[in-house]
C-alpha cells in the first residue's frame, strides 16, 4: 500500500440537524449549521491554503493564510473562524486574497531556515506545501534583522525532537495538548516577535508535564516537532492500517514504513476507538518488536537445568506433541492443558482453545483474564445477560455524571482518559471511588466533585451504601425498574437495611457518610450517569459481587440502554474482551455458552468432528494446585508470563517446577521460560493478521506490517501441534478462522474480514439483526430479557492486617509501562519508569524512618521483595501502592492466593504487608533488589 494521506478539513465537523447551502467558487455545497467556510470549501473539493488550522482542534485564526472574500461583506475574513450562512457566496481565489496570502507566506519564510532539501520533513511539510500553493516566488526580506534561526533544539524526549528555529508559532501543538490530550503542558510564552512554544514553565519537554502522547507532533505543520525515527530513517513511503497491541482501548494506527522498516506509528483518524489520538505506548513504544532480545528460533531442553538447544520448527512441534501424549498416557487425558493470552488475536486464541478441546480432549484451557476481568464476565452475565460493557467510547460525550471506580484512565487507558477529560471540561461532573488520589481527582481544568477514598476491600460496602441512599430517598427510576427489571423488591429491601446506610458503613469504608450521600444523589439525579471501572473493582475477593452491585445501581437509576450511561469495564490488555469471547475459559465455549449445554456442544462437535466434555476443566489456580499434587503435568503457555503476573509467585514457581513439560510461546525468554522445556518464538503484532476486540466490544483488524520473523504464524504453530497430536487442524489464512468463529458464535454471525475491511470495525453483536454492529447494548430490553437485581451482601476479606503486617498493599499500572513490562521495558519508555517504586504516606514513612528514595523491604505472609520508596500523600495512611512492571522487583512475590469467590480472580488489591528499611550490607542497590526478590521466592 502507498502512504495513506487522510484528508484534513481544517476545522472539526459540526454535526446537527439543520443545514445551510452556500456557494464556494461557483460550486454549491450543503453543510450542517455552524460549519466553517474552510470546511465547507474542503467538502466541495476546494482546498483553501491554511497553516494554523487542522480538523483535530478548534479554529484559531492566527495564520491569516485562509482568508477569503465573501459577497456583501467587508474585508477578507479568515475562513477557519467564519461560520457559513445560508445563501453565502464565497470566493477563495481572487487577486486580492492571492496577494495577501503571498505576503503572509513571505513573512513566514523570512524567519524560517531555508534547508528544505535536507530537512527531515521534506515532502511532509505543510509550510513547504503552502508556499507552493500560494505561488510564492520571492522573499524580499533578508536575514539581516533579528530572527529565531539560532534557537537551540530540545532533544530531551526519547522519541521526538523540538526545533524552535523552525517554529511558526501557529499554536497547533498547544491546542492539541489542551483540546485533544487534555494535559495543557504546552503554552505560548512571550508576545509579538518574542512569542514561542514552551513546555511547562520554560522546562524541557522531558521535565515538563508532557505525557508524550504525540498529539503535538501530529499537529505540527513543520519539522519543529518531529519523530526522531523520521530524522534517523527518513520519510516513510507506504503505510498499513492496523491496531495497537497495548491496552483495551484498541487504537487504530497507520504503520508507516520505508521499505520494510517501520518508521513511525501514526494514529488513524478513522479509528473508531481513538479517532486520531494516541498515547506514548501506541504512538512510540513499538521498538520491542525488533529488539535484539527477541528469540526467533525454537528451542528445546530435556530438563530446566540443561542449556537451551536451537532446533527447527518440525523438531520443536514434534517434541511438544510427543511429550504431551506421553504425559496423557501416563497420567490420563486431563493431565495437560493450556493458558491463552489476551495479547494474542481472536483467531489465535480460538485455535488454542480448539486445540485443547479437540486435540487434548479436555476443557483445561484458561486465559489471563482469569486474573483481571473474569468477575466482569460473571457479574454482567448474571445481571444483564451479557459478559461485556454496555457502551461505545463515544458515549461518554453524552454523560452528565461520570463515576470512575477502581480505574485510572489517564494511566491505564490514556486515549479514553483524554476523551473523558474533554467531557469533564465541558461541564460533566466526576465521582472517583479509589483508595489512591489518581490524577483525575484534580488535574488541569478537571476536578472531581467527590473523591470517595475508601479503604481497600470495601468496594461492596460503598456501592451498597450508595444504593441505600437511592432507595431510601426515593431516587429510583421507578418506571425503568417496573418495565425492564426483576428482583427489585428483594434487593431494595436489602439495601434499605440500616446496616447499609452510609453512617453505618463509614467505620468500615472510611468514607464520610455525608460525602457518600452527596455522591449517590449526584449520580442518581443525573440525566445521564455512566460508570467506568477497572481492576480496582475486579481484583478483590468480592470482585463479582461488586460488578453486580454496580449493575444494580445503574438499573435502579435507569442508566442503561442509551448514550451517556452504562456500566463499562476498562479492560486491561488489548484483547481481554476478545480472548473471553473466544471460549478460552474452561467452562465456556465461544460467546459465553456453557460447556454443559448439549445443544451448544453439538454445534462444535459436528463441525470439529470430536466430542467435547460437558464438565468444565481446570482454572489457572486449579492447574497450579493439581501440578503440585501430581495430577497435572503438562502446560502450554501462549503469550503469558505467569511467573511474573500471577499472585504468590512462590506457589506458581513450585507448580511450574513440578510439571514434566512446560511449553512457552512468546517474543522473549520471560520469567516463565525459566521453567520451560520447549520455547516457541512468537510474532509481534506487527507480524500478525487477524482481529482484536477492545473494551467496547469493537472488533478491529490487525494487519501484518511485515512477515513473521520466526517464519511461522502463531495460529499456524498451534494448528501444527494439534495435527501432530492426532487431530488434523489447518487453515490457509486467519480469515478462515474468523469465518469459523462466525459460524459457531451467534454474536459474531455477521463478522468477516471482508465486513471489517469495508466498515473499518464493528461492535458485537453483529448479526442479521445488527449487520453493522451494536454500539449500545440493552437498548429496548436486556439480553437476558429483564435486568436482574442481585442481593450483594458485603463480606469482609479474609486478608486482614495484623501487628506483624499492619499496612495494606494495593497495586496498579503507570502510563509509560504495560502489564509485566516485557514490551515497554525494551523501549525508550524506561526513561519515565526505570523501576517499580513503593508509594507510602508521609506518616507511615516517618513511623518507619523511611525517606524518599530509600531502599525498603516489602513483606507479606507469603514473601518479600525490595524496592525504592516514594513518600506521597496520594495514598491514605495505612495503605501502600506499587506497580508490577519490572520482574526484578517481583511485586507478586508478596501478593496472596486470596481470590474472588465466583471466578478465582486474585485479590491483588488487598495484601497485608509490612515495610521497613532495607540494609544491603555493602552490596550494590540493584543487586540487593534482585537477590531479595529471589529470596522471597525460595
pLDDT-based confidence at 117, cuts 50/70/90? confident
DSSP helix/strand/coil, 763: strand
Average pLDDT over every residue of 844-862 = 95
pLDDT in tens, 898-920: 888 989 888 889 999 999 999 74
Please state, in angstroms and rounded to a whole number, the distance separating the CA atoms of residues 583 and 593. Answer: 8
List of residues 6+ apart from 75 with CB closer than 8 A? none
Q: What pLDDT does 300 receive?
A: 97
Mean pLDDT of the chain: 93
End-to-end CA distance of the chain: 53
- In 3D, which of 408, 712, 692, 706 has the Cα closest to residue 576? 692
Query: Which secondary-structure segment (H or E) carries 916?
Result: strand 911-917
Average pLDDT over every residue of 57-73 = 94
Half-sphere exposure of 622 (CA within 13 A, CB side): 19
Do residues 878 and 453 lie in contact, with contact meaning Cβ atoms separated by under 8 Å?
Answer: no
Q: What pLDDT does 922 receive?
A: 39
Q: Over 70: is that where the pLDDT of 344 sits?
A: yes
List of residues 6+ apart from 718 with CB closer than 8 A? 348, 351, 352, 355, 638, 729
Average pLDDT over every residue of 212-221 = 96
pLDDT-based confidence at 933, cuts 50/70/90? very low
pLDDT in tens, 72-94: 999 999 999 999 999 999 999 99
Q: Over 70: is that where the pLDDT of 68 sits?
A: yes
Q: What pLDDT does 194 receive?
A: 87
pLDDT-based confidence at 469, cuts 50/70/90? very high
pLDDT-based confidence at 143, cuts 50/70/90? low
Q: In this predicted model, which residue has the larger pLDDT, 890 or 447?
A: 447
Cα 913 off chain centre by: 30
pLDDT in tens, 47-56: 999 999 999 9
Q: Which 8-state DSSP code applies to residue 906?
A: B
Q: What pLDDT does 935 receive?
A: 28
Q: What pLDDT does 893 receive?
A: 86
- In 3D, which of 142, 163, 146 has the Cα closest to residue 154? 163
Average pLDDT over every residue of 251-274 = 95
pLDDT in tens, 666-692: 999 999 999 999 999 999 999 999 999
Q: Over 50: is that where the pLDDT of 28 sits?
A: yes
Q: How many residues does the chain have?
A: 938
pLDDT in tens, 627-666: 999 999 999 999 988 888 888 888 999 999 999 999 999 9
pLDDT in tens, 191-208: 888 889 999 888 999 999
Q: What pLDDT does 886 receive?
A: 85
Average pLDDT over every residue of 331-343 = 95
DSSP helix/strand/coil, 640: coil
Least confident window among 4-13, 22-31, 109-118, 718-727: 109-118
Q: What pLDDT does 892 receive?
A: 81
Q: What pLDDT does 850 receive?
A: 96
Q: Over 80: is that where the pLDDT of 732 sits?
A: yes
- In 3D, which of 866, 868, 877, 867 has the Cα closest to residue 801? 877
Average pLDDT over every residue of 216-232 = 95
In the block, residue with C-alpha cell 499537529: 219
pLDDT-based confidence at 930, cuts 50/70/90? very low
Least confident window among 741-750, 814-823, 855-864: 814-823
Most confident of 64-78, 100-114, 188-202: 64-78
DSSP helix/strand/coil, 930: helix
Q: What pLDDT does 844 receive?
A: 96
Q: Over 60: is that where the pLDDT of 923 sits?
A: no
Q: What pLDDT does 929 receive?
A: 36
Q: How many CB atoms lie within 10 A of CB 474?
A: 8
Q: What pLDDT does 926 receive?
A: 37
What are the backbone angles phi and psi of residue 12, rounded to the nearest 5°?
Answer: -65, 155
Average pLDDT over every residue of 442-462 = 96
pLDDT-based confidence at 921, cuts 50/70/90? very low
C-alpha cell at position 61: 485564526
Write b or e for each residue in 76-95: b if 16 or more Cβ atoms lie within 10 A of its Cβ, otherwise e: bbbbbbbbbeeebebbbeee
Task: Report the percentage of the chain scoring pLDDT > 90.
Answer: 85
Which pTM value belongs to this model?
A: 0.94
C-alpha cell at position 802: 495484623
Average pLDDT over every residue of 769-794 = 96
Most confident of 107-116, 517-526, 564-573: 517-526
Q: What pLDDT does 141 receive?
A: 74
Average pLDDT over every residue of 846-868 = 94
Q: Over 70: is that where the pLDDT of 400 sits?
A: yes
Q: Which residue stretches of 334-477 are H helix?
A: 346-354, 374-383, 409-412, 414-425, 459-472
58: left (phi over 0), alpha (psi -120 to 50) or beta: beta
Amino acid at each position: 500500500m502507498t502512504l495513506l494521506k487522510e484528508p484534513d478539513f481544517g476545522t472539526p465537523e459540526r454535526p446537527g440537524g439543520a443545514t445551510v447551502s452556500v456557494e464556494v467558487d461557483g460550486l454549491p455545497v450543503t453543510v450542517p449549521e455552524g460549519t466553517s467556510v474552510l470546511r465547507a470549501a474542503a467538502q466541495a473539493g476546494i482546498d483553501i491554503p491554511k497553516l494554523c488550522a487542522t480538523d483535530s482542534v478548534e479554529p484559531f485564526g492566527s495564520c491569516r493564510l485562509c482568508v477569503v472574500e465573501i459577497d456583501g461583506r467587508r474585508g477578507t475574513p479568515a475562513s477557519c473562524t467564519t461560520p457559513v450562512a445560508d445563501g453565502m457566496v464565497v470566493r477563495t481565489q481572487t487577486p486580492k486574497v492571492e496577494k495577501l496570502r503571498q505576503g503572509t507566506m513571505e513573512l513566514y519564510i523570512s524567519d524560517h531556515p531555508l534547508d528544505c532539501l535536507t530537512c527531515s520533513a521534506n515532502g511532509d511539510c505543510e509550510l513547504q506545501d503552502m508556499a507552493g500553493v500560494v505561488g510564492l516566488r520571492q522573499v524580499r526580506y533578508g536575514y539581516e534583522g533579528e530572527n529565531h534561526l539560532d534557537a537551540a533544539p530540545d532533544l530531551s524526549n526519547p522519541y521526538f525532537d523540538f526545533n524552535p528555529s523552525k517554529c511558526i508559532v501557529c499554536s497547533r501543538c498547544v491546542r492539541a495538548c489542551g483540546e485533544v490530550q487534555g494535559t495543557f503542558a504546552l503554552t505560548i510564552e512571550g508576545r509579538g516577535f518574542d512569542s514561542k512554544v514552551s513546555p511547562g514553565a520554560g522546562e524541557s519537554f522531558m521535565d515538563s508535564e508532557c505525557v508524550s502522547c504525540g498529539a503535538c507532533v501530529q499537529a505540527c505543520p513543520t519539522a519543529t516537532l518531529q519523530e526522531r525515527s523520521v530524522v534517523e530513517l527518513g520519510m516513510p513511503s507506504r503505510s498499513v492500517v492496523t491496531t495497537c497491541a497495548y491496552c483495551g482501548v484498541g487504537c487504530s494506527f497507520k504503520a508507516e514504513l520505508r521499505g520494510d522498516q517501520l518508521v513511525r506509528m501514526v494514529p488513524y483518524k478513522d479509528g473508531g476507538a481513538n479517532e486520531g489520538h494516541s498515547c506514548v505506548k501506541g504512538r512510540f513504544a513499538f521498538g520491542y518488536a525488533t529488539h535484539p532480545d527477541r528469540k526467533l528460533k525454537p528451542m528445546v531442553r530435556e530438563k530446566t537445568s540443561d542449556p537451551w538447544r536451537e532446533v527447527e520448527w518440525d523438531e520443536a512441534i514434534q517434541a511438544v506433541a510427543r511429550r504431551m501424549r506421553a504425559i496423557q498416557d501416563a497420567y490420563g487425558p486431563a493431565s495437560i492443558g493450556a493458558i491463552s493470552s489476551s495479547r494474542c488475536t481472536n483467531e489465535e486464541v480460538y485455535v488454542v482453545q480448539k486445540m485443547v478441546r479437540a486435540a487434548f480432549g479436555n476443557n483445561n484451557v484458561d486465559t489471563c483474564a482469569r486474573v483481571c476481568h473474569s468477575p466482569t464476565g460473571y457479574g454482567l452475565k448474571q445481571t444483564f445477560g451479557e459478559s461485556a460493557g454496555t457502551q461505545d467510547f463515544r458515549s461518554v460525550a453524552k454523560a452528565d455524571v461520570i463515576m470512575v471506580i477502581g480505574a485510572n484512565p489517564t494511566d491505564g487507558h490514556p486515549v479514553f482518559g483524554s476523551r473523558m477529560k474533554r467531557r469533564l471540561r465541558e461541564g460533566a461532573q466526576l465521582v472517583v471511588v479509589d483508595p489512591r488520589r489518581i490524577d483525575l481527582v484534580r488535574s488541569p481544568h478537571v476536578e472531581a466533585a467527590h473523591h470517595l477514598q475508601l479503604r481497600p476491600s470495601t468496594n461492596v460496602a460503598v456501592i451498597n451504601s450508595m444504593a441505600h441512599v437511592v432507595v431510601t430517598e426515593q431516587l429510583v427510576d421507578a418506571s425503568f425498574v417496573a418495565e425492564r427489571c426483576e428482583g427489585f423488591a428483594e434487593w431494595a429491601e436489602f439495601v434499605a437495611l440500616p446496616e447499609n446506610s452510609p453512617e453505618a458503613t463509614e467505620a468500615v469504608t472510611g468514607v464520610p457518610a455525608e460525602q457518600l450521600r452527596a455522591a449517590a444523589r449526584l449520580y442518581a439525579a443525573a440525566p445521564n450517569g455512566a460508570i467506568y471501572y477497572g481492576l480496582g473493582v475486579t481484583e478483590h475477593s468480592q470482585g463479582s459481587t461488586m460488578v453486580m452491585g454496580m449493575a444494580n445501581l445503574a438499573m435502579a437509576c435507569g442508566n442503561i440502554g442509551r448514550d451517556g450511561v452504562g456500566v463499562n469495564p476498562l479492560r486491561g490488555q488489548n484483547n481481554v474482551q476478545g480472548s473471553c469471547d473466544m471460549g478460552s475459559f474452561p467452562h465456556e465455549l465461544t460467546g459465553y455458552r456453557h460447556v454443559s449445554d448439549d445443544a451448544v456442544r453439538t454445534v462444535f462437535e459436528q463441525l470439529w468432528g470430536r466430542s467435547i466434555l460437558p464438565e468444565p476443566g481446570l482454572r489457572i489456580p486449579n492447574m497450579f494446585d493439581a501440578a503440585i499434587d501430581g495430577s497435572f503435568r503438562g502446560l502450554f503457555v501462549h503469550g503469558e508470563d505467569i511467573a511474573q503476573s500471577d499472585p504468590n509467585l512462590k506457589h506458581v514457581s513450585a507448580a511450574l517446577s513440578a510439571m514434566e513439560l512446560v511449553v512457552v510461546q512468546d517474543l522473549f525468554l520471560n520469567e516463565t521460560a525459566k521453567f520451560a522445556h520447549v520455547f516457541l518464538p512468537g510474532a509481534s503484532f506487527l507480524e500478525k493478521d487477524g482481529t482484536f476486540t477492545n473494551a467496547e466490544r469493537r472488533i478491529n483488524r490487525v494487519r501484518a506490517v511485515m512477515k513473521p520473523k520466526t517464519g511461522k504464524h502463531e495460529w499456524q504453530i498451534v494448528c501444527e501441534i494439534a495435527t501432530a497430536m492426532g487431530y488434523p487442524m489447518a487453515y490457509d489464512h486467519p480469515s478462515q478462522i474468523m469465518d469459523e468463529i462466525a459460524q459457531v458464535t451467534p454474536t459474531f454471525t455477521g463478522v468477516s474480514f471482508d465486513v471489517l475491511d469495508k466498515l473499518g470495525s464493528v461492535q458485537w453483536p453483529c448479526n442479521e439483526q445488527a449487520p453493522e454492529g451494536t454500539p449500545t447494548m440493552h437498548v429496548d430490553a436486556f439480553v437476558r430479557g429483564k435486568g436482574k437485581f442481585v442481593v450483594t451482601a458485603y463480606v469482609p476479606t479474609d486478608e486482614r492486617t495484623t501487628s506483624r503486617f499492619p499496612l495494606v498493599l494495593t497495586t496498579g499500572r503507570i502510563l509509560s509501562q504495560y502489564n509485566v513490562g516485557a514490551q515497554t521495558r525494551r523501549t525508550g519508555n524506561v526513561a519515565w519508569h526505570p523501576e517499580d517504586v513503593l508509594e507510602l504516606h508521609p506518616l507511615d514513612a516517618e513511623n518507619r524512618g523511611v525517606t524518599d528514595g530509600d531502599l525498603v523491604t516489602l513483606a507479606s505472609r507469603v514473601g518479600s521483595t525490595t524496592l525504592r520508596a516514594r513518600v506521597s500523600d496520594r495514598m491514605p495512611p495505612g495503605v501502600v501502592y506499587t506497580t508490577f512492571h519490572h520482574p526484578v522487583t517481583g511485586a507478586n512475590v508478596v501478593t496472596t492466593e486470596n481470590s474472588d469467590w465466583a471466578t478465582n480472580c486474585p485479590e491483588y488489591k488487598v495484601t497485608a504487608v509490612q515495610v521497613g528499611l532495607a540494609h544491603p550490607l555493602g552490596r550494590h542497590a540493584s543487586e540487593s533488589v534482585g537477590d531479595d526478590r529471589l529470596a522471597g521466592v525460595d
